[in-house]
Amino acid sequence: MEGEQSHRRVVVVGGGLAGALLAKHLQFDADVLLIDSKEYFEVPWARCRPMVDASFAERSLIQHTDYLSNARVISSPAIEVSQSEVLTAEGRAFGYDYLVIATGHEDSRPRSRKERLHQFEQENEKIRTSSSVLIIGGGRTGVQLAGEIAVDYPEKKVTLVHEGSRLLQFLGPKASEKALKRLRSKLVEVLLDQSVNLNSTTNGDGVFTTSAGRSVSADCHFVCGGRPLSSSWLKQTMLEDKLDRFGRLMVEGNLRVRGLKNVFAIGSIIDITDKQGCLAYKHAAVAAKNIKLLLKGGKEEKLALYKPSSSLAFVSLGRKVAVVQFSFTTVSGHIPGLFTSKDLFVKWNRKQMGLEAHIIS
């Protein structure tokens, strides 16, 4: 039985937090293959800090092979799923006994860790050599980037333009107010209910015009818009009818895709509402437990159920300050920042991967 179990094939598509942790959980229980468009895992909360401190990425970018000592990794996007195989963009087909979809949101990050490190260095150089920066988009990434630049480069003029009526619209109004107050206290100019036409500049003069007719001068700019779910590739596969109208995979309480016995889905791509990144590890734990049970021939009635729960959501506003929303209250300042903004959960993520923590000073 043990020999049979070790040769059962589990294919995990997507190397974000949920997919990476699931592959790690299962690597000694089956023949595990992780298919990801990248060769590395990137700590999801730490994407802006390396733009102002490129060395930070040395800890926040983790090669998949560093934590998967007993699994295979294919660095190519998946483009097709059948009842028995996954096809990659390279034209290679991989059979599976159990499949897990964890592709999260679309991303255009480079394939290799080396290229991603270089990208951060280029972005850092662009910020360092500019006297003014325009950030377009007031969601998590735009707000966090504005906070990082304002703290590390207080001499620079930072302007954030957001088309919504408030920042951080995925959080409650109190969190939005606290974030706005913090950014303005750091002299970030925040323009709400406005958008920017990137074609409005003439002759590369660095002057942008907002939808309200406001002129914004900036030596460089960053577009921080929302990213769509990475599920469009599933629309021409056997999973097409398992997608809801928002492009999310519909799952049962045990995180299996509805109507399928051997296909699971976890992370941002599923139709469960509590998909903050800090809960992705719970998705991975439940799915891993259930797949292990099935690998051992366990009864289906013993499959664990994922229990949605309210959780904290946070946005870092620089190295020492954050706004944190709990189910019962919202707080901001240095105390929540002490637990979230100092190393942006890089230490925690590395420990989850079984790697040296590398505490950030």
How would you write the pLDDT of the chain (361 residues) with one tens digit per residue? 334 455 899 999 999 999 999 999 999 999 999 999 999 999 999 999 999 999 999 999 999 999 999 999 999 999 999 999 999 999 999 999 999 999 999 988 999 999 999 999 999 999 999 999 999 999 999 999 999 999 999 999 999 999 999 999 989 999 999 999 999 999 999 999 999 988 777 656 789 999 999 999 999 999 998 889 999 999 999 999 999 999 999 999 999 999 999 999 999 999 987 645 567 889 999 999 999 999 999 999 999 999 887 667 899 999 999 999 988 899 999 999 998 899 999 999 999 999 997 644 4
Among 127, 72, 56, smallest CA distance to 350 is for: 56
- Token readout for 34 is 């992780």
Give pLDDT, residue 43: 95
CATH topology of domain 2-37+76-107+227-307: FAD/NAD(P)-binding domain (3.50.50)
Give pLDDT, residue 38: 97
Question: Order of strands, edge to edge, in the sheet holding 313-316?
Answer: 313-316, 322-325, 330-333
DSSP designation for 210:
B
Same fold across 2-37+76-107+227-307 and 113-226+312-346: yes
3-26 as b/e: b if 16+ CB within 10 A = eeeeebebbbbbbbbbbbbbbbbb
Instruction: State the Cα angle at 167 between 121 and 109, rounded to 5°.
Output: 30
Architecture of domain 113-226+312-346: 3-Layer(bba) Sandwich (3.50)
Q: For the beta carbon of residue 344, count every other beta carbon within 10 angstroms.
A: 25
Alpha-carbon distance 72 to 217, whole Å?
49
Domain segments of the chain as ranges? 2-37+76-107+227-307, 113-226+312-346
Strands 9-13 and 98-101: parallel
Alpha-carbon distance 253 to 266, whole Å?
11
pTM for this model (two decimals): 0.92
In Å, how far are 36, 68, 76 from 73, measured between CA atoms? 8, 8, 9
- Sole residue written with tokens 């509590």: 274
DSSP-assigned beta bridge partners for residue 41: 62
Give pLDDT, residue 287: 98
Give pLDDT, residue 327: 82
Among 94, 82, 75, 103, smallest CA distance to 19 is for: 103
